[in-house]
Amino acid sequence: MARGDETAMVTGATSGLGLQFAEQLAQRGFGLALVARDDARLREVQADLISRYALPVEIIPADLVTHEGVSAVEARIAGRPLRVLVNNAGFGLKQPFDRATIDEEEKHLDIHVRTPMRLMHAALPAMLNRGTGSIINVASVSAFTPRGTYGAVKSWVVSLSRWANNQYRPRGVQVTAVCPGFVHTEFHQRLGASLDDIPSWMWLDAGAVVATALRDAGRGRAVSIPSLRYRALVSASRIVPSSLSQRFAARGR
Ligand SMILES: NC(=O)c1ccc[n+]([C@@H]2O[C@H](COP(=O)([O-])OP(=O)(O)OC[C@H]3O[C@@H](n4cnc5c(N)ncnc54)[C@H](OP(=O)(O)O)[C@@H]3O)[C@@H](O)[C@H]2O)c1
């Protein structure tokens, strides 16, 4: 396979984990199809990656909480098969469930559940036909603790990925849920969340998270929890009462 012959699509590719996925997939020689809302920022990322890696980089400006946005991305997937799909785009909500509006909650559900489900459904048939493919769904360690609708949607992502990996891995398609803890990205800043009470040891580097995620996906793992400390926390959360893990998880947002 020549460099750039195979394409990796990354949603939410303009910052944080998505930008790192784009970078590290380009380092592995993949052509890229990058999705986010901010057209100008997508163009900057495109120009930068083309200049450094000399690979094809397409951009698809789309709002993934709208039907039109998701349809545009599905149309691109139908046009030419992907080798890798990274469902990464996402955001949190500023308010807890009782204070957020139901429209905000619905958009949050869409970006974390409806959109990755639709894009996975669009990408899978061609991957299965070719007998090769990798789907990486960015979840969170919040999937393992009661944490409002954010924890609930991320649990859905982990559950679907576990099932899909068992189902499709024998046919050449790995599905991996990536479950990071706190990562330095724009996620919390966009929320305007105070992070003063988050100890420094709980923060992860986006590049290290993505390197672990790609390594685990390459090994066909259904779930990737980057860093030993978060693997230990997830193991502990299975044995402590949920009221206690909920109090711990309530730090930050
Ligand atoms: N940071 C953490 O601590 C952490 C921990 C665990 C899991 N995660 C998960 O990691 C994923 C990536 O988040 P991040 O931390 O990298 O955050 P980030 O730096 O804020 O990046 C979010 C990306 O998603 C895009 N995006 C947001 N809303 C979108 C929409 N409606 N349509 C299309 N694209 C949209 C953004 O670009 P535009 O604004 O241009 O659309 C941006 O490229 C999320 O699924 C998040 O839940 C994050």
Instruction: Quote the tokens at residue 163.
Output: 């099932």
Q: Is the CB of 18 under 6 A from ligand 1?
A: yes
Q: Is the CB of 15 under 6 A from ligand 1?
A: yes
The alpha carbon of 249 and the centre of ligand 1 are apart by a number of angstroms equal to: 20
Q: What is the pLDDT of residue 146?
A: 84
Fold of 7-249: Rossmann fold (3.40.50)
Q: Is the CB of 105 under 6 A from ligand 1?
A: no
Q: Which of 10, 11, 14, 17 to mutate to test the pocket of ligand 1 (most atoms within 8 A of CB)?
A: 17
Could you give the 3-state DSSP secondary structure of residue 59?
A: strand
Reduced to 3 DSSP states, what percent helix, strand and coil does the chain have, rounded to the nearest 5?
A: 55, 15, 30
Task: Decide: 133 and 124 in contact? Cβ < 8 Å.
Answer: yes
Q: What is the pLDDT of residue 194?
A: 80
Averages of pLDDT over each 10 residues, the chain, 253 residues: 90 98 98 98 98 98 98 97 98 96 98 98 98 98 93 98 98 98 95 86 96 98 96 85 63 49
Q: Is the CB of 156 under 6 A from ligand 1?
A: no
Q: What is the pLDDT of residue 242?
A: 67
Please name the residue whose Cα sits nearest to atom 44 of ligand 1. 90
Residue where the block lists tokens 């509006």? 101
Q: Looking at ligand 1, which atom is closest to the CA of residue 19?
A: 43
Q: What is the pLDDT of residue 249?
A: 62
The alpha carbon of 241 and the centre of ligand 1 are apart by a number of angstroms equal to: 30
Q: Is the CB of 44 under 6 A from ligand 1?
A: no
Task: Decide: 151 and 174 in contact? Cβ < 8 Å.
Answer: no
Q: What is the pLDDT of residue 2?
A: 78
Q: Find, among 13, 17, 24, the residue nearest to 209 by Cα.
A: 17
Q: Is the CB of 186 under 6 A from ligand 1?
A: yes
Number of CB atoms found within 10 A of residue 243's CB: 8
Query: Cβ neighbours of residue 249 under 8 Å, at least 6 residues apart?
Result: 142, 145, 146, 147, 151
Query: Cβ neighbours of residue 3 under 8 Å, at least 6 residues apart?
Result: 29, 54, 55
Domains of the chain, by residue range, sit at 7-249
Q: Find, among 97, 10, 101, the residue nearest to 62 by Cα.
A: 10
Task: Decide: 120 and 87 in contact? Cβ < 8 Å.
Answer: yes
Please name the residue whose Cα sits nearest to atom 8 of ligand 1. 140
